[in-house]
Structure 1
Amino acid sequence: MSDNESARAEQPKRRVSRPLAGGFTTVLAAAIAGLSLAAPVAATPVATEESTEASFYLPAGDRVPGTPGSVIQLRPLTGDPALAGARNYLVLYRSVDMQGNPVAVSGTLAVPDSTPPPGGWPLISWAHGTTGVADVCAPSQDTSPGFPAHDYTALVRRLQERWIAAGYAVAQTDYQGLGTPGPHGYLIGTAEQRAVTDMARAARQVDPDIGVRWVAMGHSQGGQAVIFTDAQAQQWAPELQLLGSVALAPASHQGIGLQASQLATTAGVAGALTPLTGGTVSFLPLIIRGAQTMTPLDPARFLTPRAQSMLAQADTGCIGRLRQQDSWGGLTADDVFNRDGDISELIRVLNENDPSALALTQPLLVLQGRADTTVPALATDAMVVQQRAGGQPVQYHSYPGADHRGVLDASFDDALAWVDTRFGR
């Protein structure tokens, strides 16, 4: 998950292929480490629309129902979060939540400012890493360095500009309920998939020079999202041609990881997990809020009174705030979990949204930093072992010395070569 750790000054560019260990030992190790953590739309132009910054994200209720992926409104972007070398748009489009209700979702689109190739611009639909669950954490609202996750979103934009320079259009969803009305289904894979896929649909409606072929790409939370996209998007949007997905440091094994952490607390040895989990307790309130979009989860059944009193911080603050020492970043597992508390419902939701056992429809490229302490390499190793054991088309590269953010830059050449090949370029 993302993502407000300090960016390293330099990350290695060399890719190293490592053998994957199989069996129960690897899966158990990854389980402990894992806490550290979809009707065709015509490609027709859409007129831009004037609105205030706040009202753009709050459409009238009668404007929200409609075909998934169709555009509600858009306007040109200049300055952040626009990408250099491109025509940029802020887009509000339609999707469907997990209860089957129509919802408005926001996102951005950048199209290279040049002549499209035959067949239209190849499209990358980008799924971002964790910024938070509060509306103020939506990446499309990053218009200045004062944005609470600016250090992460600005880093991602520099990477996306390399894709623009390579001749790709880049769309990025904010996900359902992030910036727009309703709760954000954090780590709820199908909800994320619908947002990512419907963003690809909306991109073609905004600019008919974008082709039907696309790749899903995402980091951290977004890495988990694009694996669900790989499994579900072709059925959700059959009029588009998904060629594959690229998952950078994808979140996995969250359910088993939380269970291991609580068991360690009950046994009085939670401190032993600290070297593996680092400061990732900070993500727990986001995980809880995400699970609550799927089930009436009562955190009082497993959180300490102190943790319960701090849970509402997730509703107003982004991940950087939650990671501070006077917030969730200052808590240990002992501070968070009641001994013998009932976390079974939370574990059930997390396990149902783990990407490890999905049946993929297109090839998947997984990219992982070996020095990552947010999504540890052991967790990703175990995920890939399970996917390959199930016969899934997964290619895996890892990068020594690259941390959670460093993998974005360290893996770019490999990602570009793989995506170029998928598009036959």
Structure 2
Amino acid sequence: MSDIEATRARLPGRRPGLIAAAFASLASTVVAVAPSHANPVSTGHATPVSPVADTERSFYTPPENRVPGPHGSVIQLRPLIGDPGLAGARNYLVLYRSIDMQGAPVAVSGTVAVPEGTPPPGGWPLISWAHGTTGVADGCAPSRDTSADFPAHDYTSLVRDVQAQWIAAGYAVAQTDYQGLGTPGPHGYLIGAAEQRAVTDMARAARQIEPEIGTRWVAVGHSQGGQAAIFADAQAQQWAPELQLLGAVALAPASHQGMGLQASQQATTIGAAKALAPITGGATSFLPLLIRGAQTVADVDPARFLTPATASLLTLADVGCIGQLREPGQWGDLKPDEVFSPTGDISALTRVLNENDPSTLSFGPPLLVLQGRADTTVPPLATDAMVVQQRAANQPVEYRTYPGVDHRGVLAASYADALSWVNSRFGR
């Protein structure tokens, strides 16, 4: 019996006292004893962090000399007891390596949940989950949600309810926080390649932590994460060729952001901003996040297109999460015609958004798109248009919609369809 097997024999995931006592042995051996097929390039060293002595800052901010290494390899990890862990699973908080859009190694945080019990032949099937918008400030990272005081708890708790159903259905669930969300560096909000790298490297890291997870996986994402899942469908197989991506599920995926912003600015010019809100998605509170994301890959100067009053509010996104940005006194009570300068130059921002639109991607693994018809955050018309474009390009897309279901409601409303579709990908 290997060291990691001996540790698991004492660490079934049901007895928290044994988890804390045995975890140092588990974490120090996980890289060395992982089977060679788990990830042939992940040879970085993973260091255990005591759940008692560690501070939040020290876990999420490793020494700079610890960050370089193969993407998808683990830097450090610790067991999770309670939130944000999932019921019926062994849960881990993990810091792993990825590559940013400038080609530099970065530390990324996330969580891994593995069902209790014996894995099926071939290992646990894996869901690499891409979460929806929480913000771009480090405090908005879902892995930091340990209580109802977390500023995006109303959303992340709903996601965990659905993820727990995936655990009960026999799937391991890994969730990235994305690059720069919770960890040093800026978060590339809606920068598709950066997001898919985080999602795919999370799948690699999950197998390094738990070799009982199989090589086959599916990307599942909601909203921002829906866009990330589509990018994973298009790019992940090349990014992690030793894993087998079977497909992706995109719930209410963000698309046509550039077109929406152009429409909003033009509507401001002609005095029709309110009338266009149902088409543009009422995205005022998301605008500072879009700007911050675009600034990670391009020179985007918001002073060129925002009104002075709105530009002064941009820094609120650096400290607050999406729920806070929606509040009165922040971005939530801005009128549509108060945001854009009618003659401003928005081209640099829209160029980045258009380059990261999932509508024109090519992918081999199949894609399932799920959309609530009552969604006012991701307009159904935008998702309809995305699917039309993808089908016109002969992409393998299935599309299902849910009358009367809103943006968050699609998480629960579509679960049975998503499970059936994913089960079929795995031949279950």
* Structure 1 match to 2:150: 147
Q: 1:327: how far off?
A: 1.1
The 1-side partners of 2:211 and 2:43 are apart by 5
Q: 1:278: how far off?
A: 5.5
* Structure 2 match to 1:67: 70
Code of the residue aligned with 1:159 in structure 2: it is V
Q: 1:276: how far off?
A: 3.7
* Structure 1 match to 2:116: 113
Q: Are 1:266 and 2:236 an aligned pair?
A: no
Code of the residue aligned with 2:177 in structure 1: it is D
* Structure 2 match to 1:181: 184
SS of structure 1 residue aligned to 2:274: helix
SS of structure 2 residue aligned to 1:329: coil
Code of the residue aligned with 2:242 in structure 1: it is E
Deviations 1:119-140 (Å, cap 9, x if unpaired)?
0000000000000000000000
The 2-side partners of 1:271 and 1:248 are apart by 27
* Structure 2 match to 1:414: 417
Moved more, 370-379 or 261-270: 261-270
Q: 1:272: how far off?
A: 1.3
* Structure 1 match to 2:32: none
Deviations 1:42-64 (Å, cap 9, x if unpaired)?
59996632222221000000000
* Structure 2 match to 1:394: 397
* Structure 2 match to 1:49: 49
Q: Contact conserved, 1:78 with 1:88, CA < 8 A, in 2?
A: yes
Deviations 1:52-100 (Å, cap 9, x if unpaired)?
2221000000000000000000000001001000000000000000000
Deviations 1:274-315 (Å, cap 9, x if unpaired)?
344464200000000000001121100000011011000000
TM-score, scaled relative to structure 1: 0.89
Q: 1:271: how far off?
A: 2.1
* Structure 1 match to 2:321: 318
| Aligned-pair Cα RMSD in Å | 1.4
* Structure 2 match to 1:77: 80
* Structure 2 match to 1:231: 234
Q: Contact conserved, 2:42 with 2:71, CA < 8 A, in 1?
A: no
SS of structure 1 residue aligned to 2:126: strand
Q: Contact conserved, 1:94 with 1:102, CA < 8 A, in 2?
A: yes
Of 379, 387, 405, the residue aligned with 2:382 is 379
List aligned pairs for 1:320-359, cutoff 5 A. 320-359=323-362
SS of structure 1 residue aligned to 2:313: helix
Q: 1:379: how far off?
A: 0.5
The 2-side partners of 1:178 and 1:132 are apart by 8
State how many pairs are aligned. 387
The 2-side partners of 1:282 and 1:330 are apart by 9
The 1-side partners of 2:46 and 2:191 are apart by 30
Q: Contact conserved, 1:43 with 1:208, CA < 8 A, in 2?
A: no
* Structure 2 match to 1:250: 253
Quote the sequence identity (%): 75
Q: 1:365: how far off?
A: 0.2
Deviations 1:347-400 (Å, cap 9, x if unpaired)?
100000000000012100000000000001110000000000000000000000
Code of the residue aligned with 2:40 in structure 1: it is P
The 1-side partners of 2:379 and 2:166 are apart by 26
* Structure 2 match to 1:40: 40
The 1-side partners of 2:48 and 2:424 are apart by 35
TM-score, scaled relative to structure 2: 0.89
Using CA pairs below 8 Å that are at least 6 residues apart, which structure has the higher relative contact order?
1
Moved more, 184-193 or 41-50: 41-50
Q: 1:273: how far off?
A: 1.5
Code of the residue aligned with 1:192 in structure 2: it is E
SS of structure 1 residue aligned to 2:119: coil
- Greater radius of gyration (CA): 2
Q: Report runs of 4+ in structure 1 exceeding 6 Å deviation.
A: none
The 2-side partners of 1:422 and 1:374 are apart by 29
The 2-side partners of 1:402 and 1:43 are apart by 45
The 1-side partners of 2:265 and 2:42 are apart by 50
Moved more, 185-194 or 331-340: 331-340
SS of structure 2 residue aligned to 1:170: strand
Q: 1:413: how far off?
A: 0.6
Q: Are 1:362 and 2:370 an aligned pair?
A: no
Q: Are 1:191 and 2:206 an aligned pair?
A: no
Moved more, 59-68 or 328-337: 328-337
Of 85, 91, 104, the residue aligned with 2:107 is 104
Moved more, 40-49 or 211-220: 40-49
Q: 1:329: how far off?
A: 1.0
Structure 2: unaligned runs, 5 residues or longer: 1-38
The 1-side partners of 2:367 and 2:385 are apart by 15
SS of structure 2 residue aligned to 1:228: helix
Distance 1:44 1:161, change over 3 A: farther
